[in-house]
Amino acid sequence: MVGSKTIICAPSNLGLRPEEGGREPGTWEAPLVLLSEGLQAVIQATDVEWLPRPAYRFDPEENTRIRNGHAIRSYSLDLAHLVQARLSDGKFPVVIGGDCSILLGCLAGARASGRVGLLHIDGHSDYFHPGNYDVQSRLGTVAGMDLALATGRGEKLLTEWPGIDGPLVQDDDVTQMGEREALSPDYAQHYGDIRNTAINRIIVQEMLREGMLATAKRVAAWASRGDLSRYWLHLDVDVLAEAVMPAVDSPGEPGLDFEQVAQLVSLLIRHIPVIGVDITIYDPDKDPDRRYAKAIVACLGNARG
């Protein structure tokens, strides 16, 4: 069971490429929209804290091949400070993004108190790194690299952190759930090298076939194999099927439905020592009537530990 919840709003879009027409991605608006739909009351959070919206750059920066790389490092350190403080207060942080780059700050904050594992629920493995794509051909976007960076693969700018030895999380302390492209012929050409790591993987096709209860039991059995007693949970709402959640950066099929996400998160929090959670990638610009915001809030309200 989780303790007293506190919401940390991280309105960042730094980890995404620009939208068509040169517009900034709209994920930075998600915390305000979700709060306006009653998120705080629904999850019974005691308070809400905000980080400021960071400035988005369209042009490359010096000394990095990662889009907004320097700003992401700075923002991650600010977020880490807040997460660390709330964990020290005995709170359960619920960090609302924003794009998936906020995972780095969440893990850095959690790691300040020792080793932490990661439950990575995402429709993509987010495992791009210099070993599987040409860094000179395009700028890297952290929302597609967060798991690689968290496990120590990539530029030192986003893999080395003050007071932390080694990566934010070790490969064998990670379970990735929800990858939808693993059966595609092109998967190996992208970041299929994740198969050669100790990262525990359950693709979305397995989850749909086995059901959420069986999936959660598998993950709980994996989590109980050693002495690790602290896990962070990352929920990218693009793990939802495009049919029910198109308001994300990279929607797709197959995916989960809202009931399945709520059930899965509830079971994981109930049976694994989860210390905090982040929710990412909802884009209000793609949801003008807020129907998907309402659905996300209801889903999180049903995802009780």
Arithmetic mean of pLDDT, 78-105: 98
Picking from 226, 225, 207, 224, the residue whose alpha carbon sits closest to that of residue 215 is 207
Q: pLDDT band for position 1 (50/70/90)? A: low
pLDDT at 305: 64
- The domain total for the chain is 1
127: pLDDT strictly greater than 80: yes
69-75: list long-range contacts, CB under 8 Å, 24+ apart.
Answer: 69/140, 69/142, 69/155, 69/157, 69/158, 70/157, 71/14, 72/12, 72/14, 72/15, 72/101, 72/104, 72/142, 72/158, 73/157, 73/158, 75/10, 75/12, 75/14, 75/51, 75/101, 75/102, 75/105
pLDDT tens-place string over residues 267-301: 999 999 999 999 999 999 999 999 999 999 999 99
- Give the domain CATH number at 84: 3.40.800.10
pLDDT at 250: 95
Structural domain of residue 27, as residue ranges?
5-302
Arithmetic mean of pLDDT, 172-197: 91
176: pLDDT strictly greater than 80: yes
Q: Which residues contact 171 (CB under 8 A, 6 or more apart)?
A: 151, 197, 198, 199
